[in-house]
Amino acid sequence: MKDFVLNSGLRVPAVGFGTYNPQKQDMTELITRALRLGYRFLDTASLYETERNVGEAIRKTGVARKDIIIESKLWYDEMGYQGAKEAIDRSLARIGTDYLDLMLIHWPRATGKSDEDWKTLDLETWRAMEEAVKVGKVREIGCSNFLPHHLENLLLHADVKPAVDQLELHIGYTQEAAVEYCKQHGIQVISWGSLGRGRMDKYVGTEYVKELAEKYGKSEKQIFLRFLVQGNIIAIAKATSEEHMRSNIEIFDFSLTEEEMWFLQCMPETAWMGEHPDFAIPAKHSNPDQ
């Protein structure tokens, strides 16, 4: 599989396996299957309650820890200097590893917080994350759902720049402003909702994507994923079916033309999951991924 190289030199596979698990499936089994099929980038979060499964699956398959990129996230009720320090230790313990490759702040801002409040909270959280890097608990730190103004707060005041920003991003919701900002500042964009969670099945342009799929002998979902990685965005896909898991990493044997890339980039807006980082922090213990 193709790798992306972060500014620090850390190599991250172009397609990761998502472990958000609202249906409470046997995630150890699913992650084990994904690792056996060749996935080497696992996306988890304290909120998903799948960190333990990540550790169990790695041990079950016997794949060397050094060959796997583990990314986790701390939830907004774990933020603040002390909260983040403890959250990182809890994630490490649940996974059963002595380091995380990537640790992210899951959400930039709680609804109703003044500018001063969320900016301070993000920076205090970040300070604990920077310290975790210094002592070797985390290799790289990053953000999730951060828009340019949230990233700017860190870039202006923090010592370590975010390595990645994980954003909702798919055909029909391409977040140009955030992607451009990340590009300018050397922050790698990772997409979540890469497949649109089934909400993209009836959007304007469906026929065009079908034609592309036929042209390349691929599925429409493979076209969605290829569009991302060809645009230098790491994709995260979650699948329970083995056929889906396999096909989601079989996207490196064809290329879309420049014209096709532009066409897909300019699809009308569709399938946005409906949560804006500034206005829609879900209530404590509810889940932004639903």
Ligand X SMILES: NC(=O)c1ccc[n+]([C@@H]2O[C@H](COP(=O)([O-])OP(=O)(O)OC[C@H]3O[C@@H](n4cnc5c(N)ncnc54)[C@H](OP(=O)(O)O)[C@@H]3O)[C@@H](O)[C@H]2O)c1
Interface with ligand X by CB under 6 A: which residues?
18-20, 43, 144-145, 166, 192-198, 219, 221, 236-241, 244, 247-248, 288-289
3-state SS of the chain?
CCEEECCCCCEEECEEEECCCCCCCCHHHHHHHHHHHCCCEEECCHHHCCHHHHHHHHHHHCCCHHHCEEEEEECHHHCCHHHHHHHHHHHHHHHCCCCEEEEEECCCCCCCCCHHHHHHHHHHHHHHHHHHHHCCCEEEEEEECCCHHHHHHHHHHCCCCCCEEEEECECCECCHHHHHHHHHCCCEEEEECCCHHHCCCCCCCHHHHHHHHHHHCCCHHHHHHHHHHHCCCEEEECCCCHHHHHHCCCCCCCCCCHHHHHHHHCCCCCCCCCCCCCCCCCCCCCCCCC
Task: Put residue 288 in one of left, alpha, beta given phi > 0 → left and psi -120 to 50 → alpha.
Answer: alpha
Q: Kindly state the smallest distance separating residue 206's Cβ from ligand X, in Å.
A: 14
CB of 182 vs ligand X, minimal distance in Å? 15
Which residue is nearest to ligand X, using beta carbons?
A: 18
81 is annotated as an active-site residue: no
User: Which candidate in 39, 48, 76, 173 is catalytic?
Assistant: 48
Q: How far is the CB of 231 from ligand X (least distance, A)?
A: 17
Q: Report the nearest approach of ligand X to the CB of residue 135 (Å).
A: 25
- Shortest CB 240 distance to ligand X, Å: 3
Q: Which is nearer to ligand X, 62 or 198 (CB)?
A: 198
Q: 132 or 235, CB closer to ligand X?
A: 235
Pick between residue 20 and residue 173 the one whose CB is nearest to ligand X.
20
Q: Which is nearer to ligand X, 1 or 82 (CB)?
A: 1
Nearer to ligand X, 131 or 220 (CB): 220
Residues belonging to the active site? 48
